Amino acid sequence: MKALVPIELIDGRPSPDSLGVLERLAGQGLESWALVCGSSIQEVAQQVARHRCAGVLIAGSEIFATLAPEPRAALIADLITQRGFAVVALATSVLATELAAQIAVHCDASVQWALTAIERDGGGLRGIRATHGDTMRTTATWTATPAVALFRPHECAPGEPGTQAAPVEAVAPAATDLPERVTIELLPGADTSAAALDAADIIVSGGRGLRSPDELDLVRDLADALGGAVGVSLPLVDMGWAPRAMQVGQTGTVVSPRLYIACGISGQIQHKIGIEKSGLIVAINTDKDAPIMSFCDLGIVGDLRMLLPKLAAEVRAARRV
Amino acid sequence: MKIAVCVKMMTGAAVDAADAFLRANRTLPSVLPAFDTHAVEEALRIRERNGGEVMLVSIGAREGLGGLRQALGMGADRAVLLSDSALTNADTAGISRVLAALLRQEAPDLTLFSPWSGDIDGALLVAMTAARLGLPALGQLRSLDIADGRASGVRQAEVGNHALSCPLPCLVEVNDSINKPRSASLKGRAQANAKPVRLMTLTDLFGDAPPVLSRTQIIDIAPAPVTRHPRLVSDKEAAAELIAMLRSHRILA
């Protein structure tokens, strides 16, 4: 079964999520081809070729300078017809979701989203989706081809690049007469703190359990002691206590640090989805029945105003030893 | 200006599956997306500035009427509710076919969507519906400006922010940070019951040629695996437990 994996580029580099999708498909024995679109992408293609794929298709053209999905969707629709791809698999991102939607409509495809896994099922394929607020796993088949598969963000971890490179083949961009109706510009001075959260090894976050913006300093102090970054939950952003860039969660930044400490965060689903890829999750909450107490590794029942300074001091002491 | 707001598109296999589980006496949280008012609020503000009409479009069970009355109470002018038992098996792509047909009939200048929290992927639904209509879509906006026949706004992407713009007519998904929704006044609520609500079925929209409602087939629904085994400790044990845990995971030396 042949699959096509459009590789999303972030700052000119292949996104780890996209490379992770290649790894997942290879794990299921699919013949997957990566697709890289852009200009001057030879080097990127060589990088991608060292991941587990049958080959890398590159479409080098200035028409891909836009972030808008239209030219990519048109090319992918062509490739599906010409080369018989049965599956198009992507990792969810703001842009990938729109691309998947356009492919699906162009090709009258069958679509599954929020996938945590795909599995071979005899000659077919089935997807496992996170549903019902992430409390359930729904297994479903695609009943038409092509099958469009959207994995959840951060669901697929990339493999280590190998020493052998898969072949790289140039394809011609589709002749598209689609006018560019949506202009998308990347704003300068991008939120670097969002990127900082994305890359952070340790994150300490504060939530509604804080009584004033000043109490974020307690959170920051523990983060400093651990050498980590500071995050917040959605309500603090809504109250204007912190910029959106600091928000951890489904609508903010989906994080995957080695250690996540949630201070005064109840653990609503939108926050849960944002943190569940973390290594260790520690929750500090006065309410032992808060949802977060059911999906953490260590739940500390207590008042964060007492606990945070104490924990920061103990961590500093432990690091000095 | 004619503004449509798509609300409470609870439907499909998720609801069906939930019913099955409820019948089996297992507990499931509600799968119905919370009725969300940010898009309604944004539509009312645009109408206040530009004049025109705000209509609500909903696909789902007749029980959704209560939510629609609430939005009418906020100030929307009228509503269309499409209910059909055939929709219980619809997937996101199927819903987008129905929605596209509804919107083609109503031909609004601007169609707004609320942020999503159900088992239908909102961003996917908006983009698919727009693609079927051949209209541009702006997804996940945290600000929206309507001027000179164009819609523009900013959204947060994985890296940095995007500034987006497109001509009307178009579809726009706004997220929950875009505004603070008003609550319905007493007078508004009283008027809501008198406002027109058109109840439709798939037959009203498609005659005897309904669209494909699903290209996916659910074969199993099971509880999500438990991945963590939480240990709860009191504040007195907290420091020692935390340090020990960080050491055993080599986060602290």
pLDDT tens, residue by residue, A92-101: 888 999 999 9
DSSP character at residue A133: T
Closest residue to B232, CB basis, from A105, A133, A293: A293
Give me the CATH number covering residue B89. Answer: 3.40.50.620
Owning domain of residue B11:
2-227
Instruction: Determine, yes or no, domain membership for B245.
Output: no
Chain A residues whose beta carbon lies within 8 Å of the beta carbon of residue B127: 97-98, 100-102
In Å, how far from its chain's centre is CA B34?
9
Instruction: Determine, yes or no, domain membership for B115.
Output: yes
Residue A206 has pLDDT above 80, yes or no: yes
Instruction: Determine, yes or no, domain membership for B233.
Output: no
Whether A61 and A136 share a structural domain: yes
Is residue A143 less than 8 Å (CB to CB) from chain B?
Answer: yes
When divided into structural domains, chain A yields a total of: 2
Whether A19 and A122 share a structural domain: yes
Strands (E), A207-302: 229-232, 259-263, 280-285, 298-301
pTM for the predicted model, two decimal places: 0.83
Whether A127 and A198 share a structural domain: no
- Rounded CA gap, A139 and A117, in Å? 9
Determine whether the interchain pair B218/A270 forms a contact, defined as Cβ–Cβ distance below 8 Å. no
Whether A197 and A162 share a structural domain: no
Residue A237 has pLDDT above 90, yes or no: no
When divided into structural domains, chain B yields a total of: 1
CA distance B229 to chain A (A): 6
Residue B20: band (very low, low, confident or very high) from pLDDT cuts 50, 70, 90: very low
Tally A–B CB contacts below 8 A. Answer: 257
pLDDT in tens, B126-183: 999 999 999 999 998 989 999 999 999 998 777 668 899 999 999 999 987 788 888 8
Determine whether the interchain pair A296/B115 forms a contact, defined as Cβ–Cβ distance below 8 Å. no
- Residue where the block lists tokens 């089996």: B24
User: With contact defined as beta carbons under 8 Å apart, do A249 and B156 qualify?
Assistant: no
* Side chain identity, residue A117: A
Instruction: Determine, yes or no, domain membership for B238.
Output: no
**Per-residue pLDDT averaged across A210-215, rounded?**
95
Percent of chain A with pLDDT over 90: 68
Whether A10 and A46 share a structural domain: yes
What was the pLDDT predicted at A133?
A: 66
ipTM above 0.90? no
Whether A160 and A226 share a structural domain: no
What was the pLDDT predicted at A42?
A: 93
Give me the CATH number covering residue A133. Answer: 3.40.50.620
Owning domain of residue A293:
192-320
Question: B247 Cβ partners below 8 Å, 6+ apart?
Answer: A318, B253
Residue B19 has pLDDT above 50, yes or no: no
Whether A115 and A235 share a structural domain: no
Determine whether the interchain pair B249/A137 forms a contact, defined as Cβ–Cβ distance below 8 Å. no
Whether A14 and A138 share a structural domain: yes
**Minimal CA–CA distance to A56: which of A4, A17, A1?**
A4
